[in-house]
Chains A and B, each alone.
Chain A
Amino acid sequence: MDTILKIEHVSKAFTGHQALDDVSLEIPRGSIYGLLGPNGAGKTTLIRIINRITIPDNGKVFLDGKEIATEDIYHIGYMPEERGLYKKMKVGDQAMFFAQLKGMKKADAEKRLKWWFERLEISDWWDKKIEDLSKGMAQKIQFISTVVHEPKLLIFDEPFSGFDPINADLLKREILGLRDRGATVIFSTHNMASVEEICDDITLINKSRNILSGTVDEIRRKAGGNTFQVVFNGDIEAFNAAIQGIGTTIDEPEGIIGGYTQQKIHIQEDSNVQQAIASLNQACRLRSFQEIVPSMNDIFIRAVNGTL
């Protein structure tokens, strides 16, 4: 795996409170990486450690295989959770200021900003003051300021908070677009729907520890644990006999319309799935056989409660 950012055994304690406890993770280049976790789990602390705003007590952060240095930070695009813009400053001046501060040439910055403003349909805000914009509107400016210098690594802390569904969708599209143009995106969230939609990989942090890491597909499949929903017509006894030794039923069977029965089953081994389908097909009239993949929301709750 081509890793862009590697976090090794990072710990951080604040007075009377362990914010991060031996957290390690690796972020693949060109991925969208979700940092999940309940409020107060330590996501923001981790992000601030990556950005060198907070210095960890233990552990190291590597960017492109080298220990991260202050200068590296200037090439990261970072959108903090507590959005910060100069309230009295005009939108355009402000965006220009941040772009130039990130090292862009003036003409270049202006060209790129105009492009982004048009893309997000906010061109006519250029001369407005931030204090005259709504929170969601200001968020768009903040987003543009974060990405305009086209950093190869982007970090968004709770990017969707404060956006209405339409603008949240817009933001998702833009984040996907950024990845497709080669950027690696890290974002923290507790919006699970967005995780399923756009994340390639995730880490779940709970109570300052990394309790779950991996690609979204893998995690969901694993959490599903070979559980299937079977719809059939026939005798439940015959059904049970057919999966004997391969799997077990979960919960009671349910009758559904058209004389069909619905039953959840669990199959022990991946390799047994085909066998199960074959013997069930003989024992009864099989209508459908579908894997149950839990939503990230379920996984999140189960992981946090320790029942995964």
Chain B
Amino acid sequence: MGKTSLIIAREYRERTKKKSFIIATILMPLFMIGLMVAPSLVMMLGKTDTKHIVVVDDTPGQIIGSRLASNSEVEFQLLDGMTKEQAYQAYDTSDKAFGILYIGRNIEENYNDVSLVTNTSASVSIEENIRSQIEQTIRNRKIEQTNIPGIDSILASTQVRLGSLQTLKNNGSDNIESMEETSTDASMLLGLVMGLLLYMILIIYGQMVMTSVIEEKQSRVIDVMVTSCTPFELMSGKIIGVAAVAATQIAIWAVLVIGASKFLLPVLMDNTALASAGAVATGINATLGNVLFMVKLFIYLLFYIIGGFVLYSSLFAAVGSAVDTAQDAGQFNTIIMMPIILAIIVMMQVFNDANSPLIMWFSMIPFTSPIVMMARIPFDIPVWQPLVSLAILYASVMIAIWLAGKVYRIGIFMHGKKPTWKDLLLWIKTK
């Protein structure tokens, strides 16, 4: 263990001292906060001047044009006794008007008989504003024309909207009070967060192991290393070292993000955004507040992170050992990444039905189980499933380490020719 711990320590020190590590560690939370704050910021900054639009309305009595309501976005000016051609000439620069809206005589029969000519580029939100105002006006007029008494209240009474649906888990008792409340929203969010977390860890840190192996091989340090320790000590030292780097980085992120959302978000986000976030949060709190459930979740997460990471990073280490440059790793990389990406696609389906047979199987296959099963666990699934899945995962981890060790021990000495799958198989078989 002495040598392995030296290798772990070196890997950890060198990686955490790197500028790129420090930058990524600080930037990532900023980026995530940015994502959270961006929508309200865009809304705030997106407000522009009121646009002046002149309206030529050919309908009798200008029934449509006269009902267009100005607001902070657009200001309508109804023109009297001017044809659209005259209007085009009279208002031909953006100083005079943003655009000329023409409403045809038969608009109520022919919905296409309307046009907006602008002096500058149009804007989607203005078009939408005009479209919805005209639609509403025509609709209202048509309702009036039916001459049914009390039509307004009839229509209003058809607007049905359910409050939140209370979901509970049937525990066999006849008393709803004793049933456990569940929240699909919260489960989905948790599942999504955990699935993506695993995805990120497998890809980022798995690749980090690979680059580390390639670096050592490229700089030829490897020759000195293998006369100082066994290839297996070297490989496991690297994997554990990178795992420690990952743990550190994620811990820092967690602290920064939690800190930021507690203190920074209230300042940056306006009240409406906070209020809607709060509504979701109440639902989630019910789930998050369940301490026992969270502990269980955390333990599973830990096991899946470790298992998944070791499984993938040993494969990445094997690939790294077999090639000379990161570019050469391409084809092998694609194969390793495929199950990870497949897992993410399957994970999205978990939220429709966490217990479908297909998803159940994907949460058993070791290459996809960390991501898929972690997304399933917040939903209600039989207890034996994660246990069996973990058993399969850890058995596969053993096999993967063994195979990777075999490839690694030969791969690190191979220079020049890019290996083929056949070579790798041969190395595995070599005693």
Contact = CB atoms under 8 A, between A and B. Distances in A.
B227 to A, nearest CB: 5
Interface in B327-380: none
B9 to A, nearest CB: 9
A76 interface: yes
Contact of A84 (B3, B18, B222): B222
A197 B110 CA distance: 106
B279 interface: no
B221 interface: yes
A86 B215 CA distance: 8
B14 A86 contact: yes
Contacts of A86: 14, 215-216, 219, 221
B227 A53 contact: yes
Nearest to A52: B227
A93 B220 CA distance: 18
A88 B10 CA distance: 12
B14 A101 contact: no
B229 A101 contact: yes
A54 interface: yes
B226 interface: yes
Interface residues of B, number: 22
A173 interface: no
Looking at B220, B223, B227, B228, the one whose CB has the most chain A CB atoms below 10 A away is B227
A88 B14 contact: yes
Nearest to A155: B227
A78 to B, nearest CB: 5
A73 to B, nearest CB: 5
A99 to B, nearest CB: 10
A115 interface: no
Given A74-B227, A74-B228, A97 B220 contact: no
B3 A101 contact: yes
A80 B413 contact: no
Contacts of A189: none
A54 B226 CA distance: 11
A101 B6 contact: yes
B302 interface: no
A70 B230 contact: yes
Contacts of A76: 227
B250 to A, nearest CB: 23
B224 interface: yes
A145 B224 CA distance: 10
Interface in B1-54: 3, 6-7, 10, 13-14, 18
A202 B345 CA distance: 65
Nearest to A86: B221
A84 B14 contact: no
A97 B10 contact: yes
A88 B216 CA distance: 11
A83 B221 CA distance: 7
B223 A53 contact: yes
Interface in B199-247: 215-216, 219-230
Contact of A78 (B14, B219, B222, B223): B223
Looking at B10, B220, B226, the one whose CB has the most chain A CB atoms below 10 A away is B10
Interface string A26-67: 000000000000000000000000010110000000000000
A82 interface: yes
Contact of B223 (A74, A84, A88, A89): A84
A102 B228 contact: yes
Given A80-B223, A84-B222, A101-B3, 13 more contacts: A74-B228, A76-B227, A82-B223, A84-B221, A84-B224, A86-B14, A86-B215, A88-B14, A97-B6, A98-B224, A100-B6, A101-B6, A102-B228
21 contacts: A51-B227, A53-B227, A53-B413, A70-B230, A74-B227, A79-B224, A80-B223, A82-B220, A84-B219, A84-B220, A84-B221, A84-B222, A86-B216, A88-B14, A88-B18, A89-B14, A97-B10, A98-B224, A101-B7, A102-B228, A145-B224
Interface of A: 51, 53-54, 70, 73-74, 76, 78-80, 82-89, 93, 97-98, 100-102, 145
Q: Give the 7 A-B residue pairs with the shortest CB-CB distance, closest first.
A: A84-B220, A84-B221, A80-B223, A82-B220, A101-B228, A78-B227, A73-B227
